[in-house]
């Protein structure tokens, strides 16, 4: 496995860029089994001849709170060992001035509607998707992968990256990876390690709320049910919503829907989502 941190080093790796069959897994490190699922999927997609490239970069431009950025867990040595064990070919772990050279403008491009309209992550983390689009676009242009794997755990991000890639014709296939969960259902996240014992126990109410939503026949009832489950665990949600799975606009009849939750638990912001099928059953 090659570990590189500059553009020059990257260009000297076995990665061949456009047409070379690279599959990129963009991460912010602090690896957990959810990242392992992404890497395995990338390996499958890359086949025997393509390379799996994992980028590890805690992207300052996507944090809207400086304390969140400062406290974000970082452990590059452990992350590289993790990647090595999973058969990753190249780890690209650049410092901020390689991604954002002081003398070079790194453009964001035009943000797709799903990055600005839904009133979900876009409303609660202003500037977040501009930062995500900036860094993903930059990584795509530097690495020129054939495909890139993103987790369904960050559903709005997955839709935003897909819409941006389509709109700009970046020519990268976006491969979604299902959410990896702890035995009690909590979605795995680098942020889970910031939870104290009490908050960790309460956080299990988030997947329970998603499950409760699925037992409800209408979007309104599902929202009430989610808020109820969260409140009983002492969790106040930022949002608990049922939306069109693609656009994240209001629910459309006969279109796939998604239940999405964001909440602060013991001071740690957690997000999760799952398919919501009730609308299809009840014609909501």
**How many C-beta atoms lie closer than 10 Å to residue 131's C-beta?**
17
Contacts of 80 (CB under 8 A, 6+ apart): 1, 3, 91, 93
Site string for ligand AMP, 128-167 (x = CB under 6 A): ----------------------xx-xx-------------
Exposure of 273 by Cβ count < 10 A (0-12 exposed, 13-18 middle, 19+ buried)?
A: buried
Q: Taking the complex as a whole, how short is the minimal distance between the CB of residue 42 and ligand AMP, in angstroms?
A: 11
Contacts of 105 (CB under 8 A, 6+ apart): none
**Which of 104, 11, 89, 32 has the alpha carbon at shortest distance from 55?**
89
Q: Which stretch binds ligand AMP (CB under 6 A): 33-41, 223-231, 246-254, 276-284?
A: 33-41
Decide whether 23 or 38 has the Cβ nearer to ligand AMP: 38
CA-to-CA distance for 253 and 62, rounded, in angstroms?
34
Q: Taking the complex as a whole, how short is the minimal distance between the CB of residue 213 and ligand AMP, in angstroms?
A: 19
Q: Which stretch binds ligand AMP (CB under 6 A): 31-39, 43-51, 98-106, 275-283?
A: 31-39
Decide whether 108 or 187 has the Cβ nearer to ligand AMP: 187
Q: Half-sphere exposure of residue 135, counting CA atoms within 13 Å on the CB side?
A: 26
| Catalytic residue list contains 35 | yes
**How many C-beta atoms lie closer than 10 Å to residue 118's C-beta?**
22
**Which of 225, 224, 276 has the alpha carbon at shortest distance from 255?**
276
Q: Taking the complex as a whole, how short is the minimal distance between the CB of residue 153 and ligand AMP, in angstroms?
A: 4
Residue from 32, 35, 71, 128 carrying the catalytic annotation: 35
Q: Which stretch binds ligand AMP (CB under 6 A): 29-37, 134-142, 162-170, 210-218?
A: 29-37
- Binding of residue 189 to ligand AMP (CB under 6 A): yes
CA-to-CA distance for 131 and 83, rounded, in angstroms?
25
Q: Taking the complex as a whole, how short is the minimal distance between the CB of residue 12 and ligand AMP, in angstroms?
A: 26
Give the active site residues.
Answer: 35
Provide the binding-site residues for ligand AMP, judged by CB under 6 A.
27-28, 34-35, 37-38, 150-151, 153-154, 177, 179-180, 187-190
């Amino acid at each position: 496995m090659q570990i590189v941190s500059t553009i020059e080093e990257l260009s000297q790796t076995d990665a061949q860029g456009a047409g070379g069959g690279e599959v990129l897994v963009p991460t912010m490190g602090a690896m957990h089994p959810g990242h392992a699922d992404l890497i395995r999927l990338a390996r499958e997609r890359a086949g025997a001849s393509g390379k799996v490239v994992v980028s590890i970069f805690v992207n300052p431009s996507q944090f809207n709170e400086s304390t969140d950025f400062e406290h974000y867990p970082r452990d590059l040595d452990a992350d590289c060992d993790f990647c090595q064990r999973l058969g990753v070919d190249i780890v690209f772990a650049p410092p901020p001035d390689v991604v954002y050279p002081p003398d070079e403008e790194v453009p964001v491009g035009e943000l797709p509607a799903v990055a600005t309209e839904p009133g979900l992550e876009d409303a609660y983390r202003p500037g977040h998707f501009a930062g995500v689009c900036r860094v993903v676009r930059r990584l795509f242009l530097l690495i020129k992968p054939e495909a890139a794997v993103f987790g369904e755990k960050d559903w709005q991000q997955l839709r935003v990256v897909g819409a941006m890639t389509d709109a700009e014709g970046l020519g990268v296939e976006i491969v979604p990876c299902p959410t990896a969960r702890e035995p009690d259902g909590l979605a795995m996240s680098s942020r889970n390690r910031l939870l104290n014992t009490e908050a960790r126990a309460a956080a299990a109410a988030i997947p329970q709320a998603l499950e409760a939503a699925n037992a409800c026949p209408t979007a309104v009832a599902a929202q009430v049910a989610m808020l109820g489950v969260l409140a009983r665990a002492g969790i106040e949600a930022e949002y608990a919503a049922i939306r069109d799975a693609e656009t994240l606009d209001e629910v459309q009849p006969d279109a796939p829907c998604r239940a999405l939750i964001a909440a602060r638990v013991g001071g740690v912001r957690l997000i999760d989502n799952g398919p919501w099928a009730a609308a299809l059953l009840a014609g909501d």
